[in-house]
Structure 1
Amino acid sequence: MKFGWDLRVGLNRRLSSWKNSEDPSPGDLTYGIELHEYPEAVMWKGSKKHYRSGPWNGLRFSGVPNLRPNPLYKFDFFSNEEEVYYTYQFTSESIISSLVLNQTTSLAERHIWMEAEQIWKITLSRPQDDCDDYGVCGANGICNIIATPVCQCLMGFKPKSPARWKLIDTSQGCIRDKPLDCKSAEGFNKFVNLKLPDTTNSWVNKSMNLSECRDKCLKDCSCMAYTNSDIRGTGSGCALWFGDLIDIRQFPTGGDDLYIRMSASSLEGTKNVTTGKSDPGGAKGGTKWIIPVVIVATIVVISGILIMSYYTWKGRTATEGKILNYSHAHSQRTCNGVNLWNF
């Protein structure tokens, strides 16, 4: 199956739901490949985005980390001047399958025909949980399905409306703790295991490396984040994001790295946390906290060694004293050949 565009003739192969189970006229649920600089699959519900796969990172869609090589089917993604499409093919002709957009449930469902039971079985569906719902945490928010609440602001950001955020209304998203001033001291915090943001406002260069990508983003005041566009091997290519970062998800493992622009003051004292790591090359101020910490740690270690040495020496002296006293007493009790212990 080919899912996507033939640019030579303007053909868009996409899915469209029925209006209902008995009316085959088009419903308002559609699913197709969006022709951004960094293409991705998007499900629309009317005029609103409903679900997004994340961009293709060379191995899989960024938002589907469990999409991996398997014995059941082969898959790949192609993007060039003539075609942009995702393709998959089952390895066995005995497998009968269909991909259905369900207007009633607003889900894309993978159906497999079970010959023994003579039924269609749903083996996969998207969106699969609350964090798959498009933009559920608002701009610059991040969704973590195992957290409570599931929505948080990215490190370096805060709720735009704290009052609404407390009521679990995250629609207004997050804003920066400290505004950017586009000075050379700005840098990037590294976030790991993510579903990459919506690529509507993105830019891609397949020949650049990660260092060149960072430099290009840093020189453009409107660039908010960057990463490798292809994660195969050691990584290659450059993807940049401009404006708010929307529809980011945190995965336990298997997600992508993303380097998000921060002011110099936001980089100072940054430590590794669940949702981010500091980029040492981001700003000169980013290492200021290391020196005093090292000094304090050194003093603590030396003090600990001295204290331990003192108590070890004291304990050894006390022990030696007891042994000497015992030996002296024992020798006295055997004086003149009389075993004083038997008296």
Structure 2
Amino acid sequence: MKFLLILLCFSLIRFHDSLAADDTISPNQTLLDTGQTLVSIGEKFELGFFSPQNSKNRYVGIWFKNVADLIPVWVANRDSPLLDSSGALKITETGNIVIVGNQTDNFIWSSNSSAKYPTLQLLDTGNLVVKDGSSENYAWQSFDHPRDLVIAGMTLGWDYVNGRSLNLTSWSSPQDPSTGNFTYALDPRLLPQVLLFKGRDILVRNGPYDGVRIGGDRPLKDYAVFRPNYNVNETHVYATFSDVDNSTANMFRLNPSSGSPELLRWNQGRSEWVTVYSVQKDDCDTYERCGPNGLCDSSQNRVCQCPTGFVPKVPEEWNRIDSSSGCVLKTRLNCSASEGFKKFSGFKLPYGEFSVNWTVVRNDECESICRRNCSCLAYAVALVGGCVVWSGDMLDMRLFTDGGQDLYIRMAASEFGSDGNGKRTAVIISVSVVAGFVVLFLFGWYIVRKRNSRRPSTGGDRDPVLVEEDVELPSFGFDTIAKATNNFSSTNKIGEGGFGPVYKGMLSTEQEIAVKRLSKDSGQGLVEFHNEIILIAKLQHRNLVRLLGCCIQGEERMLIYEYMPNRSLDLYIFNQTRGTALDWRKRFDIIVGIARGLLYLHRDSRLKIIHRDLKASNILLDHEMNPKISDFGLARIFRGDQTEVNTKRVVGTYGYMSPEYAIDGQFSVKSDVFSFGVMVLEIVSGEKNRGFAHPDHELNLLGHAWKLWNEGRPMELVDILMENIAKSEVLRCIEVGLLCVQKRPEDRPSMSSVLSMLDNENISFSQPKQPGFYTERSFTETDSSSSLYMPNVSAEISFTKIQSR
């Protein structure tokens, strides 16, 4: 009996030693190839031994647990299979993961990792990690060793400091996971684009990521699978992916038969993997399809074209359908000062010999870099990646009907006509006598207008110019501004809005300025011009942009502002790479700064002002990223006893307009509060309200946020790129945002209450009610703007014909 008890105890100990815990293995445990598996804590992923279809070889892999068609997302011993089911997975006392045959201690595979107090754990992200008990960091993780595919959270790219690359390599065949012939790798030259190789030959190049699209393709969010993020600087270039929808299984995989990259999504209803996106879709996706300097256009019968200014290199071959001999410049370059740069839009930026300066993000600076180098043939400011210059033949260009980026190609002066930059020469005739009469006339008109100005009406077809007090504002001469902006050079142009083009300039005092020049074709006119002068000249607040002066000469109307080096907020929160520069602390400070500026307009300034066009592109950022509200062309002054006004001229931006204003033309301080709430939710999520799409519903961003709030999942709204998140502040901001966008204006808080809620954790909130326009899909998507820097156009709805006053 004693012998049997001892034997039973010994058997139980051996059974315990060989049976792994649910999601972890310790050094005294073993995972055997007898059906034992590790299952992540949320039961999303499983690790164990498997055999590919029609193969008897055994491998250790990780797969989605609740997916019937097993496709391993990671294989440990891909090049060292076990020939039978006698294998075992262990972690040693020193933290090394090993796969051994059950009858031998010979290692079949080893992770070559080390840790002092190790445990091996399968995380719910699908990441297999070695945890060091003496550190919070992982001593080793499978995400650092990708195989043939990536799932959410995995990274591709290059680490220049450690000399490490993270690439995908295909399986040899559907039955053999060993390293195949196809490699999918991020370009190591600081331009965020991915290449597919077969051996050493490039088969496909995606093209640079622009923050929305890869190359010029449809935005990846349209496929409702992955949302990409590129992180580029002088130490590394990385691409990471996050799931748009966490309820389904998604993967980006190299097809084991063809090596072609494709996005797969598990369709539960059909119980199969569905290909929702393939990198290779048409003939123009073939690398260098049309030869050096050739342009591929899949919309044409003959896909290969020569860009304007180029001719076929071998004309007799060019008429062949499969011609790929390429193109050459019609006129050779001689590096003269008269040479200029012709702009081509909608391009997939070329490959070839190029260099990237990721710190330069302005067009004029990038042109200067190219112009100084006689071997430079073209340049572009990649929307993600900085200044790119090409010094040789441009390879693998194609034209997109939607998307793409701007490319500037160097050409001889003869390609432009009279001057190298292709600009019409501005002829300015200065007649001092005429100019004097014009100035006197404008001055007299202004005085008469001031004397005859009345209080603002509460209706009418046209908003009045509001002039109630003398305005002391410096006046700049036209010649001064022309000199400061290099005669309004295209290289100085930094944006265009409803008002007209915006230029960066430098005064003789070396003060940087931003110049808004009223265009003859502007959607805004003299009313908005004078309105902005009168309003901003009276306002002084650290969160409002500062107007330095104006220029009125002949038909010219210009406003001169302080220059904001970091431009506008939308460049950061809606751009997947620049957005990484804004951690939560900075975003929260921006939200509070906007709220303070808005409270000043509504309550604390000498005038009670309704902005009417608050949005991310109208929030400018100074050198310390402090927010400043800009663009007061559509603003209105309220009398002390006024609380709301009706207008027949509705102006502003769809997606930010409150319901009562967009539908009934009724606006008040609560209209601005609604716009502020939209911005708060956009800043938290990194998504635009207009154009937001989700695979499970037709709600816009406001409706999506409200849905998550009611379901107790508000943190799912948060931008995944954001770092240093303070959960309590984030939740407070989401709730404030939802309170501000409530459908009924009387339910929305005042800006003073908003600031109190943002500054005080102990204030109790009311439950947000249904947002306005939370399912809106009726308007054409337009991010209208008269922003200082962003190229958009203001929206306007006129219900009756506008009469002159």
TM range (shorter): 0.7 to 0.9
* 2:372 alignment counterpart: 219
* 1:241 alignment counterpart: 390
Name the amino acid aligned to 2:410. Answer: R
Deviation digits for residues 68-106 of structure 1, max 9, x if unmatched?
A: 578654321112344321111114432112222125334
Whether 2:251 is the aligned partner of 1:123: answer: no
Give 1:225 shift. 0.9
Describe the shift of the 1:217–1:129 C-alpha distance in structure 2 as closer, same or farther (beyond 3 A): same
* 1:29 alignment counterpart: 182
* 1:258 alignment counterpart: 407
| Secondary structure, aligned partner of 1:217 | helix
Worse-superposed segment, 135-144 or 5-14? 5-14
- Residues 65 and 255 of structure 1 are in contact (CA less than 8 Å); yes or no, is this contact kept in structure 2? no
| Secondary structure, aligned partner of 2:203 | strand
* 1:183 alignment counterpart: 336
Aligned-pair identity in percent equals 36
- 1:12-91 pair list within 5 angstroms: 12-68=165-221, 72-91=225-244
Q: Which runs of 4+ in 1 moved over 6 A?
A: none
- Residues 230 and 239 of structure 2 are in contact (CA less than 8 Å); yes or no, is this contact kept in structure 1? yes
**Aligned match for 1:282, one of 421, 427, 431:** 421
- Residues 268 and 287 of structure 1 are in contact (CA less than 8 Å); yes or no, is this contact kept in structure 2? no
Describe the shift of the 1:138–1:70 C-alpha distance in structure 2 as closer, same or farther (beyond 3 A): closer
How many Å separate the matches in 1 of 2:314 and 2:244? 51
Give 1:54 shift. 1.3
* 2:348 alignment counterpart: 195
Describe the shift of the 1:177–1:137 C-alpha distance in structure 2 as closer, same or farther (beyond 3 A): same
Describe the shift of the 1:170–1:202 C-alpha distance in structure 2 as closer, same or farther (beyond 3 A): farther
Deviation digits for residues 36-78 of structure 1, max 9, x if unmatched?
A: 1424211112221111121233444334353357865432111
RMSD: 2.5
Name the amino acid aligned to 1:282. Answer: N
| Count of matched residue positions in the alignment of Structure 1 and Structure 2 | 273
Q: Which runs of 5+ in 2 are unaligned?
A: 1-153, 428-805
Name the amino acid aligned to 1:261. Answer: R
- Residues 183 and 196 of structure 2 are in contact (CA less than 8 Å); yes or no, is this contact kept in structure 1? yes
Name the amino acid aligned to 1:244. Answer: D
Give 1:19 shift. 1.7
How many Å separate the matches in 1 of 2:366 and 2:156? 30
Describe the shift of the 1:58–1:246 C-alpha distance in structure 2 as closer, same or farther (beyond 3 A): same
Deviation digits for residues 194-213 of structure 1, max 9, x if unmatched?
A: 11111642232423521121
| Secondary structure, aligned partner of 2:351 | coil
| Secondary structure, aligned partner of 2:371 | helix
Describe the shift of the 1:195–1:162 C-alpha distance in structure 2 as closer, same or farther (beyond 3 A): same
Name the amino acid aligned to 1:197. Answer: P
**Aligned match for 1:204, one of 357, 374, 378:** 357
| Secondary structure, aligned partner of 2:239 | strand
How many Å separate the matches in 1 of 2:373 and 2:160? 31
- Residues 357 and 388 of structure 2 are in contact (CA less than 8 Å); yes or no, is this contact kept in structure 1? yes
* 1:174 alignment counterpart: 327
How many Å separate the matches in 2 of 1:164 and 1:122? 38
* 2:318 alignment counterpart: 165
**Aligned match for 2:297, one of 117, 131, 144:** 144
How many Å separate the matches in 2 of 1:177 and 1:83? 39
Whether 2:304 is the aligned partner of 1:155: answer: no
Give 1:28 shift. 1.4
How many Å separate the matches in 1 of 2:268 and 2:224? 19
Give 1:11 shift. 2.8
Worse-superposed segment, 220-229 or 206-215? 206-215
| Secondary structure, aligned partner of 1:215 | helix
Higher relative contact order, structure no. (Cα contacts within 8 Å, ≥ 6 residues apart): 1
* 2:158 alignment counterpart: 5
Whether 2:247 is the aligned partner of 1:94: answer: yes
Describe the shift of the 1:250–1:204 C-alpha distance in structure 2 as closer, same or farther (beyond 3 A): same
Q: Which runs of 5+ in 1 are unaligned?
A: 270-279, 291-343
- Residues 52 and 63 of structure 1 are in contact (CA less than 8 Å); yes or no, is this contact kept in structure 2? no
How many Å separate the matches in 2 of 1:136 and 1:198? 12
What's the TM-score, normalizing by structure 1? 0.73
How many Å separate the matches in 2 of 1:91 and 1:10? 31
Deviation digits for residues 97-131 of structure 1, max 9, x if unmatched?
A: 22221253341111111112111111111111111
* 1:332 alignment counterpart: none
| Secondary structure, aligned partner of 1:223 | coil
